[in-house]
């Protein structure tokens, strides 16, 4: 381990790990867990992710048959060598990581024509690259053990957010996978309170489109929950060319039903995002959608909710001044992104398609123009979806 630590420190001394675009920082800061090596790796990943995307964007701009810049050539050759080294250095440690297979594939294609000095020509059949902006291309896959009351099971990292890390484990008594979410090290008392609140609220809810949570472990700041194979981001991205309209409409319906349920019982999720909506698939390949991560939930049944005013969450409504004033109109802002993503697999909601009038209203900077209830939104959606 010491060798890896020294290697990474040496890397940080020699290279800048600065990141300019906040989305990369957000992605990898979420993976940090207070462990020094882990956190340095996250900084390096964020830095490489941003740089590799710049190179890929240049490539897309110049296109097949175009000219591949000398600097970009050098970067790709360097990166290839560095990733080989890093894989080797981490392979027998608990910092083993996985690099996105699609990006690896593109990298391999570039290596065929990259040159160490000067520029090079992009081959005529070089594909347009689908840039990954909002999810990690590096994932730490460390394995360790989870202890439940009765037994100890090997756990595998499946995801991380800003505050917590999530592992899956196979419970042999049930022959079923479960997930366990654990607060990252170094949490504050306020974060612990929020984490418990998230569990307690989710525990009270019961709806097919809400993730079930099971048991809270006091000493450990963790809780178990049902395991989902992937996030909606991964599911839609992976199947974007294959998904039928019926499946998409079905997913949309599940999403709206889940949101409808929480709103009906006086909750606002406040962090609806591609990573907080999960998918579990049955043996017949049918997707079931589950809203998860109630870490920022607002419970209108509680008299004394947080007075924290700084706006949080992934899709932050520019019209929202103070987080404690969050209401349905702010939730519908985030919902617009999800609706477009489910129906079209696109992250940019502002496009011309049949439901655009609905999206435009959800995102309107004039709050008066937005829908004031989910029923109103759903009615309008079904009207415009006739053209879908």
Ligand X SMILES: Nc1ncnc2c1ncn2[C@@H]1O[C@H](COP(=O)(O)OP(=O)(O)O)[C@@H](O)[C@H]1O
Binding site for ligand X (CB under 6 A): 158-164, 166, 179, 181, 211, 225-228, 231, 275-276, 278, 292-293, 295
Instruction: Give the number of other CB atoms < 10 A from CB of residue 33.
Output: 19
From the list Mg ion, ligand X, none, partner contacted by residue 231 (C-beta under 5 to 8 A by kind): ligand X
Region 105-164 residues binding Mg ion, contact defined as CB under 5 A: 161
Tell me how far apart the alpha carbons of residues 71 and 68 are, in angstroms, rounded to a whole number: 9
Could you tell me which residues are beta bridge partners of residue 120? Answer: 68
User: Among residues 59 and 210, whose Cβ is nearest to Mg ion?
Assistant: 210
User: Among residues 164 and 358, whose Cβ is nearest to Mg ion?
Assistant: 164
User: Among residues 228 and 362, whose Cβ is nearest to ligand X?
Assistant: 228
Helix (H, G, I), strand (E, B) or coil at 177: strand
Tokens read off for 299:
């419970």
x/- mask, Mg ion, residues 156-195, rule CB under 5 A, reads: -----x----------------------------------
Among 276, 313, 343, 374, binds Mg ion (CB under 5 A): 276
Tell me how far apart the alpha carbons of residues 305 and 303 are, in angstroms, rounded to a whole number: 6
Q: Which of 175, 176, 174, 170 is nearest to 146 (CA)?
A: 170
Tell me how far apart the alpha carbons of residues 282 and 1 are, in angstroms, rounded to a whole number: 41
Tell me how far apart the alpha carbons of residues 226 and 365 are, in angstroms, rounded to a whole number: 38
DSSP state of 375: H
**Cβ 214 vs Cβ 223: under 8 Å:** yes
User: Among residues 148 and 162, whose Cβ is nearest to Mg ion?
Assistant: 162
Q: Tell me the closest approach of the beta carbon of residue 94 to ligand X, in angstroms.
A: 18
Instruction: Give the number of other CB atoms < 10 A from CB of residue 83.
Output: 16
Tell me the CA distances in angstroms from 318 to 152, 177, 270, 308, one per residue in order: 46, 39, 14, 17
Among 50, 72, 198, 293, binds Mg ion (CB under 5 A): 293
Could you tell me which residues are beta bridge partners of residue 67? Answer: 121
Q: Residue with CB nearest ligand X?
A: 161
User: Among residues 161 and 258, whose Cβ is nearest to Mg ion?
Assistant: 161
x/- mask, Mg ion, residues 15-54, rule CB under 5 A, reads: ----------------------------------------
From the list ligand X, Mg ion, none, partner contacted by residue 50 (C-beta under 5 to 8 A by kind): none
From the list ligand X, Mg ion, none, partner contacted by residue 179 (C-beta under 5 to 8 A by kind): ligand X
Q: Tell me the closest approach of the beta carbon of residue 33 to ligand X, in angstroms.
A: 10
Q: Residue with CB nearest Mg ion?
A: 161
Strands (E), 42-93: 67-68
Q: Tell me the closest approach of the beta carbon of residue 247 to ligand X, in angstroms.
A: 20
Helix (H, G, I), strand (E, B) or coil at 35: coil
From the list Mg ion, ligand X, none, partner contacted by residue 95 (C-beta under 5 to 8 A by kind): none
Could you tell me which residues are beta bridge partners of residue 267? Answer: 299
**Cβ 181 vs Cβ 226: under 8 Å:** no
From the list ligand X, Mg ion, none, partner contacted by residue 239 (C-beta under 5 to 8 A by kind): none
**Cβ 300 vs Cβ 267: under 8 Å:** yes
| ∠ Cα 288 292 297 (to 5°) | 140
From the list Mg ion, ligand X, none, partner contacted by residue 331 (C-beta under 5 to 8 A by kind): none
From the list ligand X, Mg ion, none, partner contacted by residue 227 (C-beta under 5 to 8 A by kind): ligand X
Q: Tell me the closest approach of the beta carbon of residue 178 to ligand X, in angstroms.
A: 8
Q: Tell me the closest approach of the beta carbon of residue 130 to ligand X, in angstroms.
A: 19
User: Among residues 53 and 276, whose Cβ is nearest to Mg ion?
Assistant: 276
- Specify the stretch interacting with Mg ion by CB under 5 A; choose among 215-223, 256-264, 293-301, 374-382: 293-301
Tell me how far apart the alpha carbons of residues 68 and 90 are, in angstroms, rounded to a whole number: 31
End-to-end CA distance of the chain: 55
Q: Tell me the closest approach of the beta carbon of residue 314 to ligand X, in angstroms.
A: 9
User: Among residues 59 and 160, whose Cβ is nearest to ligand X?
Assistant: 160
Q: Tell me the closest approach of the beta carbon of residue 310 to ligand X, in angstroms.
A: 17
Tokens read off for 114:
């990259």
Tell me how far apart the alpha carbons of residues 67 and 126 are, in angstroms, rounded to a whole number: 12
From the list ligand X, Mg ion, none, partner contacted by residue 296 (C-beta under 5 to 8 A by kind): none
Q: What are the two backbone dihedrals, phi and then psi, of residue 129, each rounded to the nearest 5 degrees?
A: -90, 135
Sites of contact with Mg ion (CB under 5 A): 161, 276, 293
């Amino acid at each position: 381990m010491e060798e890896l630590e020294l290697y990474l420190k040496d890397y940080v001394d020699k290279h800048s790990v600065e990141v300019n675009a906040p989305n990369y920082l957000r992605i990898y800061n979420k993976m940090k867990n207070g462990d020094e090596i882990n956190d340095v790796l996250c900084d390096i990943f964020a830095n490489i992710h941003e740089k590799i995307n710049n190179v890929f964007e240049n490539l897309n701009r110049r296109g097949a048959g175009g000219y591949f810049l000398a600097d970009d050539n050098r970067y790709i050759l360097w990166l290839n060598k560095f990733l080989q080294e890093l894989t080797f250095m981490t392979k027998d440690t608990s910092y083993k990581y996985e690099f996105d297979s699609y990006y690896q594939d593109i990298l391999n294609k570039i290596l065929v024509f990259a040159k160490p000095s000067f520029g090079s020509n992009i081959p005529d059949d070089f594909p347009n690259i689908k840039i990954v902006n909002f999810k990690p291309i590096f994932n730490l896959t460390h394995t360790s053990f989870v202890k439940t009351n009765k037994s100890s099971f090997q756990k595998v990292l499946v995801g991380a957010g800003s505050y917590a890390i999530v592992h899956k484990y196979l419970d042999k008594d049930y022959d079923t996978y479960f997930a366990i979410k654990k607060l990252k090290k170094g949490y504050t008392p306020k974060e612990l309170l929020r984490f418990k609140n998230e569990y307690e609220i989710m525990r009270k809810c019961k709806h097919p489109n809400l993730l079930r949570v099971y048991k809270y472990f006091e000493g450990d700041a963790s809780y178990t929950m049902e395991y989902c194979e992937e996030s909606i981001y991964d599911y839609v991205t992976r199947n974007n060319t294959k998904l039928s309209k019926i499946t998409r409409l079905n997913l949309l319906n599940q999403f709206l039903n889940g949101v409808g349920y929480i709103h009906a019982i006086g909750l606002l999720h406040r962090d609806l995002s591609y990573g907080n909506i999960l998918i579990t698939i049955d043996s017949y390949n049918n997707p079931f959608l589950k809203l998860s991560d109630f870490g920022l939930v607002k419970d209108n049944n509680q008299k004394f909710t947080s007075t924290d005013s700084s706006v949080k969450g992934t899709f932050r409504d520019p019209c929202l001044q103070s987080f404690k004033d969050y209401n349905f109109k702010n939730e519908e802002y985030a919902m617009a992104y999800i609706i477009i993503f489910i129906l079209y697999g696109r992250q940019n909601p502002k496009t011309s398609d049949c439901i655009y009038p609905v999206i435009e209203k959800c995102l309107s900077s004039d709050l008066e123009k937005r829908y004031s209830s989910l029923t109103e939104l759903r009615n309008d959606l079904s009207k415009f979806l006739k053209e879908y």
